[in-house]
Amino acid sequence: MRQVRVVDEHGEQLGIMPPRDAIREADGRGLDLVEVAPKATPPVCRIMDYGKFRYEQKRRARESRKHQTATSVKEIKYRPKIDKHDFDTKTNHVRSFLQAGNKVRITIMFRGREMAHPEFGRRIIGQVIEATEDLCSGENSASLAKLEGRNMSLMLAPAKHR
């Protein structure tokens, strides 16, 4: 017959006994018998208030979620032949995303023969970096931008709040 090691609600060992006796012991205390280590030999069961245990787990999970901040990656797309006003508008969006604590991916999209002049894309990225350098952390330069297919991209990370 199967045996289980029983631990009471205070963490003290009650010994090895048949499951039926362990359940009777838990019922006598008005608590639940919960298997905590099924792979152990013999399996370990704990006498506890399972509803209270589940409540505490959920509360701890909620607390840990409250203290973490989720940063998302926003993407702003530019074109090599972008007009000044459009550039300023998009760059203002980049600034607002960085101020909100989000990472921003700057993407330059090339079409047709624009691929022959990647330096135009690097110039645009350089201008964005220059316009947002007070909000960015780390060293950024247009030479770090990666050319992937018809897109050139660079990731900007927000500076830590003081």
**Confidence class for position 1, pLDDT limits 50, 70, 90:** low
Determine the CATH number of domain 73-156.
Answer: 3.30.110.10
> Would you kindly state where each structural domain of the chain is located, as residue ranges?
4-66, 73-156
Burial class (CB in 10 A: 0-12, 13-18, 19+), 115: middle
What is the per-residue pLDDT across 111-159, written as a single tens digit (0 to 9) for each? 999 889 888 988 998 899 889 888 887 677 777 788 888 999 999 888 8
Give me the pLDDT at residue 161, please: 61
What is the per-residue pLDDT across 78-108, written as a single tens digit (0 to 9) for each? 999 999 999 999 999 999 998 888 899 999 9
CA angle 132, 134, 138 (to 5 degrees): 90
Residue type, 3: Q
**Confidence class for position 72, pLDDT limits 50, 70, 90:** confident
**Confidence class for position 56, pLDDT limits 50, 70, 90:** very high
Q: How far is CA 134 from the centre of its chain?
A: 25
- Region 19-47: what's the mean pLDDT? 92
Architecture of domain 4-66: Roll (3.10)
CA angle 81, 88, 138 (to 5 degrees): 95
Contacts (Cβ under 8 Å, ≥6 apart) of 54: none
What is the chain's percent helix, strand, coil content, to nearest 5? 40, 25, 30
Q: What is the pTM of this model?
A: 0.56
- What is the residue-averaged pLDDT of the chain? 89
CA angle 69, 75, 76 (to 5 degrees): 135
Give me the pLDDT at residue 162, please: 47
- Region 54-65: what's the mean pLDDT? 90
Give me the pLDDT at residue 49, please: 93
Which of the 8 DSSP states describes residue 124?
A: H
